[in-house]
Homo-oligomer: A and B are copies of this chain.
């Protein structure tokens, strides 16, 4: 998506060889009109796949999952939660998820009542790096016996391998921008 690549070049920041900061429009401050465009684009890419539910990971996936849902007939969004609370449902699907950015492992969970075998689920997230978050969401979809329509991510960092892990499993993956390399602050797209 050309507009996204331009946006990343203009407003994003490449740090070291691994990190892209897009906190001015995507995952700290949210630019509403631009997020609406991203949702439209995911909607176009997954049109006709019968999506009736969108699954994302808190927190940074929520806004783009929401705009994608708006564009896909206002289908419900479910966001997987991390960690536990004292109001957590007894009946949950859960999966370990490692964050390379935060250097932590946590448990992602979704209450069973919000995913069932009739669901056709689109997984949406902001970043795809090593693939841990996306694969844990895919695993939760499978635990529910639901149909996975595909995975959509705003930014894939191809050099971290997560995209190929998903593609190797035969999962339909749509990345709105694919980053090949970050070097000396310069972000190169594939």
Q: Which residues of A contact B (CB under 8 A)?
A: 15, 19, 21, 23-24, 28-33, 35-36, 58-59, 62-63, 66-67, 69-70, 74-79, 81, 85-87, 89, 101-103, 110-111, 113-114
Contact = CB atoms under 8 A, between A and B. Distances in A.
Describe A's contact surface by its main secondary structure.
mixed
A126 to B, nearest CB: 12
Given A28-B78, A36-B70, 10 more contacts: A24-B114, A29-B78, A36-B74, A59-B81, A62-B62, A63-B66, A66-B67, A85-B101, A86-B101, A86-B102
Listed residue (A28, A87, A103) with the most chain B CB atoms within 10 angstroms of its CB? A28
A50 B59 CA distance: 27
Contacts of A59: 58-59, 62, 79, 81
A32 B87 contact: no
Nearest to A80: B28
Copies per complex of this chain: 2
Contacts of A28: 78-79, 81, 110-111, 114
Given A21-B87, A85-B101, A87-B21, A32 B62 contact: no
Contacts of A101: 85-87
Listed residue (A30, A32, A59) with the most chain B CB atoms within 10 angstroms of its CB? A32
A19 B62 contact: no
Contacts of A85: 101-102
A32 B81 contact: no
